[in-house]
Amino acid sequence: MTRAKDLIGDIAFDRRRALLMLGTACAAGSTCSANAARATGKTPTKARIVIAGAGAAGLTAASRLAAALDGAQITLIDARKEHFYQPGFTLVGSGIKPVNYVTSSTADYVPMGVEQVQERVAEFDPEGNRVVTESGKAYPYDFLIVATGMQLEYGLIEGMDDKLIGQNGIGSIYHSPAGALATWQAMSAFADRGGRGVFMRPATEMKCAGAPLKYTFVTEDYLTRRGQRGKAEVVYNANNKALFSVPIVSEKVRMLFQARGIKMNYDRVLKAIDPGRKIATFSTPDGMEEQNYDFIHVIPPMRAPEVIRNSPLPWQTGAWSVEGWLEVDQGTLRHVRYRNVFGVGDIAGVPKGKTAASVKWQVPVAVDHMVAEIAGKSSEAVYTGYTSCPLITRLGQAMLVEFDYQNNLVPSFPGVIAPLEELWVSWVMKTMALKPTYISMLRGRA
């Protein structure tokens, strides 16, 4: 079966109309525009700045610092050579985009004047103001930005191995571009024949918490389009008593699930999987529960990388200490105990913000505070917890859900895009407009 042939005729759209609608949306909000208020002059400094991690947050920080400072020694440390556009993994896993849509080269986004070190950080020493790489080389710093992202922990699910993705009805879009493609192939085969589809999210903090819901919606839609919905049961297992962390969005998803016959289980956490028998075991308030499946979308527990967990940098107590998230102030992203350390992106131990859209708002705040300190000034910049989730609800429609720490809906395009309505323009935003905005963000221009 050719990739996403279900879309032909149903959601083939006029590009001129898409551009017109997106132009209207951009006129109503700030997301599509570059910073209009960027200062024209650079701050002179000899500061040594180390950025640990070259994902979305690290590259964005490098670009903004290079643009703001004159004479700084900026070092970007990460072993990765490929850069993954992770918001596109859902699109690859849904047969909407080809696998190469999400892959580029990290070096393409490293700004001039920034030293790129292709090694892993082996040790963080905030007392000595240095990081040490796996080769044993130490990099002293005056300021440190931690942007290491998070770690997927498939091994914490008994019987699960990432090598199983794409086999025996097991999918997981989070793992990699290849894993997303293998998941699409497994899900598409399931949509061709029907059966029992099992979906879930982990009990840990996670990146893009809307992705488990998106993939449930998309799978149900493929089953419907291929005439197999009557032969299928679709089950979503929430890890707690809600479907989404924002109550009004959770209720909207509940209503959509109910309308589409998607069964909802609450307080279910995947603990084990038996690939041979196609049995998934979940913990419940009443004990363990087995669920059979023909297709299962496994989302592993997620936590801070081991190098962070074994350092002095995580929260020492509280909800974020168990998984090792960085102990930062939620408004400034500055470390609570080490004032010359900032944490941005997935690693930050804050109530919201593990999305690429959050990086767009987090990094300018952290950089503004750092540059102000270098210049002997103070900054009033505050990150309010902005998080965005373009929640696909069926092929050709999505809800553009944006919210903050207080669970307030904070739409970027009021009067143009209603956040809780299934809209074609929100689908266009997700599938067409967000990647160019993301690339602009990496280059420090969004």
Listed by start position, the domains of the chain span 43-150+304-375, 154-302
Half-sphere exposure of 391 (CA within 13 A, CB side): 27
**How would CATH label the architecture of 43-150+304-375?**
3-Layer(bba) Sandwich (3.50)
- At 224-277, the pLDDT tens digits run 999 999 999 999 999 999 999 999 999 999 999 999 999 999 999 999 999 999
For the domain covering 154-302, report its CATH number.
3.50.50.60
* Encoded tokens for 180: 């997303």
Helices (H), 194-318: 211-225, 247-259, 306-309
CA distances from 163 to 92, 102, 157, 300 (A): 18, 20, 13, 13
389 a catalytic residue: yes
Residues 164 and 183: their CA atoms lie apart, in Å, by: 10
Catalytic residue among 304, 341, 371, 389: 389
Please confirm, yes or no, whether 208 is among the known catalytic residues.
yes
The per-residue pLDDT for range 24-79, each reduced to its tens digit, is 444 333 333 334 334 448 999 999 999 999 999 999 999 999 999 999 999 999 99
CB neighbourhood size of 188 (10 A) = 19
In the predicted model, residues of the chain with pLDDT beneath 50 are: 1-40
Per annotation, catalytic residue among 72, 99, 208, 304: 208
Domain 43-150+304-375 and domain 154-302, same fold? Reply is yes
* pLDDT (0 to 100) of residue 162: 96
Cα–Cα distance for residue pair 269/7, rounded to 1 Å: 33
